[in-house]
């Protein structure tokens, strides 16, 4: 019992101040994000909803890229909300060190907190969107299964990989401001390349080389975790995942291993360069 108490005290002594700063930054950033706008925090829900409406009309109705199930609109909304979390985290987070440069020079606290704060703010918006998705799922009479208990693990993986790429880009942005423009283009390419606005089954059911390439998309941790979120939350019977498309455990665990490796690399690069940030800025 004493050893546990001592461990808790050591953790509080080491990370207590960082935790207080993180909470303060997350609260401040979230309040300022929609300050001055008429609808305020409602925009965190309206943006993915408006994008969903456009994508559903264009791809679902006109191009008929649907899986043909009643749950497709909810699955589409869930995918767009999940991708919105990734892009919001990365877009705000990559600039966070430079934008908070004056604060980092004046107050001594771990630099990584400003990046984590940006991703946590996006995570709060994502949580709000998940509640909206749940409401739509109830309206659509989605039949939930025991798989929903795995949803937190899927979200943790998506957050971990998002934090990894955000740490890497935040480090690079300090030295190369072109990273922001490259990311603006890259995120559009990734969005249309991954099975977010189109069902993965739309391609896999056709067979051939395209079906093989579509399954290989699941090796991407973002695509894999979003498909897992859709599968476990909304449609376990219709959503292809790496777990039901491959039998080899090496392939199944590859995205998770890549997530761990990317997070280690992001933390390593950020910590290695964080002492030079003040000089460079």
134: its two tokens: 């749940």
Query: CA nearest 266: which of 254, 275, 258?
Result: 258
Domain assignment present for residue 140? The answer is yes
Number of structural domains found in the chain:
1
Domain assignment present for residue 177? The answer is yes
Give the domain extent around 83. Answer: 16-280
User: What is residue 142's DSSP assignment?
Assistant: -
- List the Cα angle 188/70/214 in 5-degree steps: 40
How many Cβ atoms sit within 10 Å of the Cβ of residue 106? 7
For helices 112-139 and 2-33, give the axis angle rounded to 10 degrees: 80
Domain assignment present for residue 3? The answer is no
Domain assignment present for residue 38? The answer is yes
Per-residue confidence of the chain (281 residues) as pLDDT tens digits?
555 455 445 555 555 666 676 677 777 766 666 655 555 566 666 677 776 776 666 666 665 666 667 778 888 889 888 998 999 899 988 988 887 766 666 666 677 888 888 898 889 889 888 888 888 888 888 888 888 899 999 999 999 999 999 999 999 998 888 888 899 899 888 888 888 887 777 777 666 677 777 788 889 999 999 999 999 998 888 888 888 888 889 989 999 999 999 999 999 999 888 777 766 66
Domain assignment present for residue 1? The answer is no
Residue 137 and residue 148 in contact, taking contact as beta carbons nearer than 8 Å:
no
Quote the CA–CA distance of 46 and 37 in Å, as a whole number.
13
Query: CA nearest 101: which of 174, 34, 20?
Result: 174
Q: Is residue 10 within a helix (H) or strand (E), and if so which, with residue range? A: helix 2-33
User: What is residue 63's DSSP assignment?
Assistant: S
Domain assignment present for residue 10? The answer is no
At 83 the pLDDT is 92
Q: How much is the pTM? A: 0.85
- List the Cα angle 219/58/209 in 5-degree steps: 35
Backbone phi, psi, residue 72, to 5°: -55, -45
Domain assignment present for residue 11? The answer is no
How many Cβ atoms sit within 10 Å of the Cβ of residue 63? 11
Domain assignment present for residue 34? The answer is yes
């Amino acid at each position: 019992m004493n050893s546990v108490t001592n461990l808790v005290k050591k953790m509080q002594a080491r990370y207590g101040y960082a935790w207080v700063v993180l909470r303060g930054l997350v609260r401040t950033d979230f309040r300022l994000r929609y300050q001055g706008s008429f609808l305020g925090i409602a925009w965190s829900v309206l943006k993915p909803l408006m994008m969903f409406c456009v994508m559903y009309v264009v791809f679902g109705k006109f191009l008929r890229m649907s899986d043909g199930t009643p749950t497709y609109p909810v699955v589409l909304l869930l995918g767009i909300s999940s991708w919105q979390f990734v892009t919001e985290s990365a877009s705000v987070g990559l600039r966070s060190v430079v934008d908070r440069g004056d604060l980092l020079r004046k107050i001594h606290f771990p630099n990584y907190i400003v990046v984590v704060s940006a991703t946590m703010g996006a995570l709060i918006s994502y949580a709000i969107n998940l509640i909206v998705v749940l409401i739509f799922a109830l309206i659509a009479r989605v039949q939930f299964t025991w798989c929903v208990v795995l949803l937190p693990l899927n979200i943790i993986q998506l957050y971990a990989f998002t934090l990894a790429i955000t740490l890497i880009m935040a480090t690079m942005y300090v030295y190369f401001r072109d990273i922001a423009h490259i990311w603006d283009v890259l995120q559009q390419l990734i969005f249309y390349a991954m099975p977010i606005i189109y069902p993965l089954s739309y391609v896999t059911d056709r067979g051939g080389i395209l079906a093989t390439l579509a399954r290989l998309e699941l090796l991407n941790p973002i695509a894999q975790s979003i498909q897992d979120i859709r599968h476990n939350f909304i449609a376990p019977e219709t959503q292809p995942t790496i777990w039901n498309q491959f039998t080899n455990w090496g392939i199944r665990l590859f995205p998770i291993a890549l997530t761990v490796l990317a997070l280690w690399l992001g933390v390593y690069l950020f910590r290695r360069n964080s002492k030079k940030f003040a000089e460079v800025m």
